[in-house]
Amino acid sequence: MDTEKILDELYSYSMFGIKLGLENIERMCEALGNPQEKYRVIHIAGTNGKGSTATTIETGLIEAGYRVGKFTSPHIVRFNERIQFKGDEIEDREICSYYLKVKEIVEKNSIKATFFEMTTAMMFLYFADKKAEFVVLETGMGGRYDATNVVDSEIAVITNVSLDHVGFLGDNIYDISKEKAGIIKKKSLVVVGDDNPDFIRAVRNETENFVDIKSKYKNVEYTLDRENFTTEIKLKDRMYSFSLFGEYQVGNFLCAYETLKILGIGDDIIQKAAKKVRWPGRFEVYSKNPLVILDGAHNVDAAQKLRENINLSFSPEEVVAVVSVLDDKDINNIMREIRGFSDTIILTSLEMFKRGLKGEELLEYTQIFRLSLVENDIRSAYKKAILMNKKAIVICGSFYLLSRFKQEA
Task: Tell me the pLDDT band of 166, cut-offs 50, 70 and 90.
Answer: very low
- pLDDT (average), residues 249-265: 98
The set of residues, in sequence order, having a beta carbon less than 8 Å from that of 278 and lying 6+ positions away, is 55, 243
> Per-residue pLDDT for 22 more than 90?
yes
The set of residues, in sequence order, having a beta carbon less than 8 Å from that of 217 and lying 6+ positions away, is 235, 254, 258
> Per-residue pLDDT for 170 more than 60?
no
Q: What is the pLDDT of residues 33-59, one digit of tens each?
A: 999 999 999 999 998 899 999 999 999
| Domain boundaries along the sequence of the chain | 3-218+247-270, 284-408
- Classify each residue of 367-395 as buried b or exposed e, where b means 16 or more C-beta atoms within 10 Å of its C-beta: eebeebbbbeebeebbebbeeeebebbbb
> Per-residue pLDDT for 165 more than 60?
no
Task: Tell me the pLDDT band of 364, cut-offs 50, 70 and 90.
Answer: very high
DSSP calls for 153-189: -SEEEE----S-SHHHH-SSHHHHHHHHGGG--TT-E
Q: How many CA atoms lie within 13 A of 385 on its CB side?
A: 32
**pLDDT the model gives residue 47:** 87
pTM equals: 0.89
Say which CATH topology domain 284-408 has: Protein-Tyrosine Phosphatase; Chain A (3.90.190)
Q: Which numeric CATH code is attached to 3-218+247-270?
A: 3.40.1190.10
> Per-residue pLDDT for 168 more than 70?
no
**pLDDT the model gives residue 77:** 86
**pLDDT the model gives residue 141:** 79
**pLDDT the model gives residue 167:** 46
**pLDDT the model gives residue 409:** 81
Mean pLDDT, all residues of the chain: 94
Residue 237 CA to residue 220 CA, distance in Å, equals: 10
- pLDDT (average), residues 169-195: 90
> Per-residue pLDDT for 220 more than 50?
yes
Q: What is the pLDDT of residues 135-156, one digit of tens each?
A: 999 999 778 999 999 999 999 9
> Per-residue pLDDT for 61 more than 90?
yes
**pLDDT the model gives residue 197:** 94
- How many other C-beta atoms lie within 10 A of the C-beta of residue 200? 17
Q: CA separation (Å) from 386 to 16, 287, 312, 401?
A: 41, 12, 22, 17
User: One fold for both 3-218+247-270 and 284-408?
Assistant: no
Task: Tell me the pLDDT band of 71, cut-offs 50, 70 and 90.
Answer: very high
**pLDDT the model gives residue 164:** 55
Is the bond preceding 74 in cis, omega lying within 30 degrees of 0? Answer: yes
Cα–Cα–Cα angle for 337, 50, 320, rounded to 5 degrees: 30
In percent, the amount of the chain with pLDDT more than 70 equals 96
